[in-house]
Structure formats: C-alpha cells, structure tokens
Structure 1
Amino acid sequence: MRVVIAGAGAVGCSIAAELLENGHDVLLIDRSPQAVSVARVPEAEWLLADACEIRTLDDAALERCQVVIAASGDDKVNLVVSLLAKTEYGVPRVVARVNDPENEWLFNDSWGVDVAVSTPRLMSALVEEAVSVGDLVRLLRFSQGEANLVELTLPEGAALVGTRVGEVDWPGDTALVTIIRGGRVLTPDPDDALAAGDELLFVAAQDREAQLEQLLSPRPGETGEAG
C-alpha cells in the first residue's frame, strides 16, 4: 500500500516508521527544511514542498495512493490537504489529525476526511474506557456514514449477561466488532455467551449509541438475582 503523509513532525515520522515496518511504501511531505531530515526515517521517500499546493501533490503522485494522512500541526493545512486528496485525486482513504478540539466539527466528509483523529479526545476516551463500566465510551469517529468506534464494559447485573450474541436484537446500523475477555481478543460468534466484564467494541451510527447503551447497561430492578 502506498501512503502519503503531509507533515513530517514527530507524529508524521512516527506513523511513517510504523507503516514502513508493516511493509508499506511511505512518502513524507513537509515544507520546512528543518523537518525534512531523511536520517529520521531513511526508508521513506521525502519531498520538501507545500502539501497544500496542487503541484506538490502532482509530484507526490497522489492518484496512485491508497491512503493520505494529514498529520501536520496546523488544522487548516490538514483540512486543505484532505479536501484536495479526496476531490482532486480520489484517494480512497483520508485520515486527518485534529489539533484543536474546537475544530473537530470541521473534520468530516465535506472536507474529504474519512477518519478524524483528535489526540485530546482520544486520550480522554482512553481514560474513560479504563475506569468506566456500563457507560458507552466513544473511542474514534468515522466521518463517512457518521459512524463511531465505541466501547462498553458489560457490568454485573446487565440483562444481556449470559445471552448468546446471535440472540441479541442489536440496534440497526450497529456491528459488534470484537469481545475482549480476560486479555483475549475474541471474534464474535453467534453462539458466544456474553459475560460480565466483557469489553465490547462496536462500530455504530451515532444516533444508535443511546439505544445501544440502554440495551447493555443494568436495568432498574434487574441485578441478576431472582426477585
């Protein structure tokens, strides 16, 4: 897979190194001579240029890319790169870094963004995920289709404890992606029974999140004991 990364700061270089280790081809673009340091990621291609200019993106052959990552420290740059990548070059997957949480609402398909990654929001979500049981935690927002990656740890007393996955009437536009149980990652099987303490990861439409949380959380008067 060919990946172009706009922004060769610490974030961009770290992403590039990880992708190269996984066998992908990576081109890093930055307009700052100080940022363009081939020795930092010698296996990558480098381009000293402004990623917001069409000529630069032509030189980068964006039409041959499967993924563009807008990873600069400037939200305006990341939005422009995302829009050009999607509308001018038809890049299938555009991932954009959100630096200022107040700008997050802009990072959607109107600006060509498929996945927006907000570091402050992600760190907050990971803290919530570590301490929350029975509450739905949004981990990642996918701009296309208004879907999110969400997590909920199934609490004691939830009505679905002991219920088989295939027997649950899940909300529409919702998919159970994986079950994390006792350090193991399980691919959901219709015959798997849900257990208290299961960490459930879903891709769900935003307007289904409240319904999903209600389904999985304890219900008043239901504690798992016979009444």
Structure 2
Amino acid sequence: MRVVIIGAGLVGTSIAANLAADNDVIVVEDDPDRADQLQFDLDILSILGDGTSLATLQEAEVDDADMFIACTGDDRTNLVACGTAKTLGDPFTIARVKSAEYLRTWQRKHGAFGADHLVCSDLLTAENIVRVTGLPAAIDLDPFADGLVHMAEFEITADSPVASQTVAEADRFKSLTFAGLFRDGSVLIPGGETRIEAGDRAVVIGSPASVRGFSNDLNPSTTPDKADDIVIAGGSEIGYHTARLLEERESKSRLIERDETRARELAEELSGTVVMHQDATDVDFLSREHVDEADIVIATMPSDERNLLVAVLAKRLGVDRVIAVVNNDEYVTLFEEIGIDVAVNPRGVTAEEITRFSFESVAENLSVLENDQAEVLELELDSDSSMVGYTIRELDSELSGQFVVGALTRGGTLITPRGDTTLEAGDHVIIFVETSFADEIIARA
C-alpha cells in the first residue's frame, strides 16, 4: 500500500514507523531538520514542502496513493490537505483534528472537507481517560472483540499483594491470561514460574469480570465498584468531553474552571456536572471543597505545568488516583516518575488510533503499549489463514518470536486459550506480541 503522510511530528512519525515495514510510505514535512531526521531514522522518502500545496502533493505522487493521512498540529491545514489530495486522485483520506466542531460537521456528511475519516484528538483523549476511570487501578484499558475481551495494564507496587508472587500464584481467574511484563525497559513474556516484581507493569487479557477481579486483588482500596466522586481540573475541550462522557455513564463529577466565561458556558452544557468557577491550583479552595475525598482527580488544563501542579497538590492532599493530560510527550516519564498514576498524551492516543485504523485490513483492532515496545492485536481468522487448524502450542513451536494468545472469541463466546486449543476459521484471536515480531504474526494470519 502506498501511504502519504502530512506532518512529521510525534503523530506522523509514530504512524510512519508502524507502517513503513510493509508499505511504501512518503512523508511531507515543512521543517527541513525534521524531514532529514525522519528519512535517516526510518529510511523512507521525506519531501520538504507544504502539505496543502498542489505542487508538493504532485511531487509526492498523491494521485497514485492508496491512503493519505494529514496529521499536522493544525486542524485547517489537515482538512485543506485532504481536500487537495482528493483533487489529484482517490486515496482514502484521514484527517486529524482537535476541534469537535469539525467532527460534528463531518458526521453530518461523511466525506466533508475531502476527509473519508476524521480523528478528533480531544474526544479520543477524553474517551481514553474515561475508560481508565472505569477501572481505577489500571493505567491502560482497551476493549477487544466488541467488548467481550479487555486488555489492561497495571503497575505493580511494592505493597501490592501480587508482588513477589509467581504468575501461577497471582492468576486465580479462569478467564484471565498474563500476557506480558514490562521490566527495566524490556518486554518479558512470562511463564507460570515467572516471579512478579515491584516496579513491573503487568498486561492481562481476559473477560471484563476477570480483569476487574484481578484489579481488586491487586489493589482493593483503589478499585471500588464505581468511582463516585471525580474531580476534573480544567474546562478545556478535553475536560468538557471527559465530563460529558462521565455524565453518560451516570458518574458524579465536579469540574473546576478559572475562566468565568468558560465556566458559565460549561455549566449550561453540562447539566449533570457541578461546575465551579475557581483556580484548581488554589490549595485552600481544594481543601474547602474536600477534594482529598475524591476517588479520582483528572487534570485536563492546556498547560502541562499547571496539570503537573494540580496533580502534585492532589497527591499531597491524599487523593488515591490522579490522571493528568500531558501534551508534551517528553514530560510523560517525568509525570510517572513523580507518582502521577496515569499520564495521557493526546498525540500518542491519536497516533495509536490512526495506526489502528490503517491496520484494519489486516487487524481488527490494535493497541500499542509502552512507547511501542509491544502490541496487542485482534486478528479475525478466515478459512485461508495459515493459523487455522493449528493448536496454540504448535504455532508457538513454529514461529520464531515470542507471543501470547491472550484470548479468543468464537461465535460471540469467549474462550480462554490453552496450549491444546485448536484455532478455527472465524475465530477472533487477541495476541500480545513484541512490536518487532508483530509483522510475522500478521503475515501468518
């Protein structure tokens, strides 16, 4: 497949890295240093120029492209680029936007702006946050197989009941698979005798009930049946969408916004949310409003520095669970190292969604974990698949890389995989695999 990508920021670079191995990828970038670096790092063609320019897109041979992805940091640039691409040929066009206004317009008429698919980063980020609030001990949660399967990632603390246990001892749930461990910057495929250590990040795959059960075992104090009191600091678009989605789930939330006009607008839009006109970094205010009693505090302000301050203040007040939006991807590790439970990077979330959509022809679903060290793939096996008829044990002996079949569904029913499970046509197979080995798994499917 020939793919033209406009923009070589974090989003564009991440998408290019994921697609480059099996596709002809061309990136258009107007920053010469970034264009040169991308060409050097990924060994792909980069073209220096304006992605909205007809001449530049002609140079990129968009008329011969199968897919066109506009993912710069400017909404209008991306929409104009898609419209221009459609004048040259008929690639499938994907535009990244931050504003939900453009998304609402596009939803009224798919194909508006020349975009065949629109990805709204603010809404995606809010959806990601809300998923995690549904399982407060998790740092990542993604549904697979139409919700029959959940993949969740948990950080193992020193006081966790499963720290120092073997995987066999920690796995007390019939419909759960320990898929992988991240330890000291590396991916570890665990066996039953693998000992779980403090500081590990454990990835489990299974039924929603079993994942929640494991979460309760892991840290019962932070996994209530429902988060009853959620505080959102910041009335940004991400904060607004987070509150709106929580209202749809009938969760109670309080939103703090320091701009009076914005606070008034939010109060009119969010009938089920308590909107407070105040500064979320005011310690006295936070104490008066008993923010320390909140189940979760979510920092969604546009400024990473203010989000960091709110997150630290919430932790000092005694809030168990703090989630922060981190716009600069270089700060994600900093937020995590100082004890913030979940750091959500909108550009990383957007890159994963576009990559997932781009892989739809070969994978039904995709999650990228730990800075692209590993992936969770959902593959639907047809009658021509070379996996059909093999047991999982036979596949493991034939394939060179390490992987774990975390779950599979057959006819809408969840099946917990074992070594002697034989794969059949029509199965949806959810596989945890190191990113470097993902292409071999996909090719086998």
Are residues 17 and 195 of structure 1, via their aligned partners in 2, closer, same or farther at CA, if it must alter by over 3 Å? Answer: same
CA shift for structure 1 position 10:
1.9
Map of 1:114 onto structure 2: 341
- CA separation of 1:137 and 1:51: change in aligned 2, threshold 3 A: same
Task: Verify: 1:15 aligned to 2:245, yes or no.
Answer: no
> Paired residue for 1:102?
330
Determine if contact 2:247/2:272 at 8 Å carries over to the other structure.
Answer: yes
**CA shift at 1:162, angstroms?**
4.6
Q: Which residue of 2 aligns with 1:73?
A: 302
Matching of residue 49 in structure 1 with residue 278 in structure 2 = yes
TM normalised by structure 2 equals: 0.38
Quote the Cα distance in structure 2 between the aligned partners of 1:100 and 1:6. Answer: 18
Q: Indicate how the Cα distance of structure 1 residues 166 and 79 shifts in structure 2: closer, same or farther if over 3 A, else same.
A: farther
Deviation at 1:26, TM superposition (A): 0.6
Give 1:89's aligned residue: 318
Q: Which amino acid aligns with 1:94?
A: V
| 2:434 alignment partner in structure 1 | 209
One-letter identity of the residue aligned with 2:272: E
Residue 353 of structure 2 aligns to a residue whose secondary structure is: helix
What are the within-5 Å matches in structure 2 for residues 125-144 of structure 1? 125-132=352-359, 133=362, 138-139=367-368
Aligned counterparts of 1:61 and 1:167: Cα–Cα separation in 2:
57
Equivalent position of 1:4 in the other structure: 231
Name the amino acid aligned to 1:13.
Y
Q: Which moved more, 1:151-160 or 1:97-106?
A: 151-160
Deviations 1:27-65 (A, max 9, x none): 001211122122121321122222123212212312221
Query: Once structures 1 and 2 are overlaid, which stretch shifts more, 50-59 or 189-198?
Result: 189-198
CA distance in 1 between partners of 2:269 and 2:424 (Å) = 46
Please say if residues 72 and 97 of structure 1, whose CA atoms lie closer than 8 Å, have aligned partners that are also in contact: yes
Q: Which amino acid counterpart does residue 281 of structure 2 have in structure 1? A: C
Which residue identity is paired with 2:423?
A: A
Output the CA distance in 2 between the equivalents of 1:194 and 1:61: 55
User: Which one-letter code corresponds to 1:23 in the other structure?
Assistant: E
Q: CA 1:155/1:75 → structure 2, altered by over 3 Å: closer, same or farther? A: same
The Cα RMSD (Å) is: 4.0
Aligned residues: 204
TM-score by length of 1: 0.68
Which runs of no fewer than 5 residues in structure 2 stay unpaired?
Answer: 1-227
Structure 1: any 5+ residue segments left out of the alignment? Answer: 203-207
Contact conserved, 2:373 with 2:435, CA < 8 A, in 1?
no
Task: Give the number of the structure whose residues are more often helix, by fraction.
Answer: 2
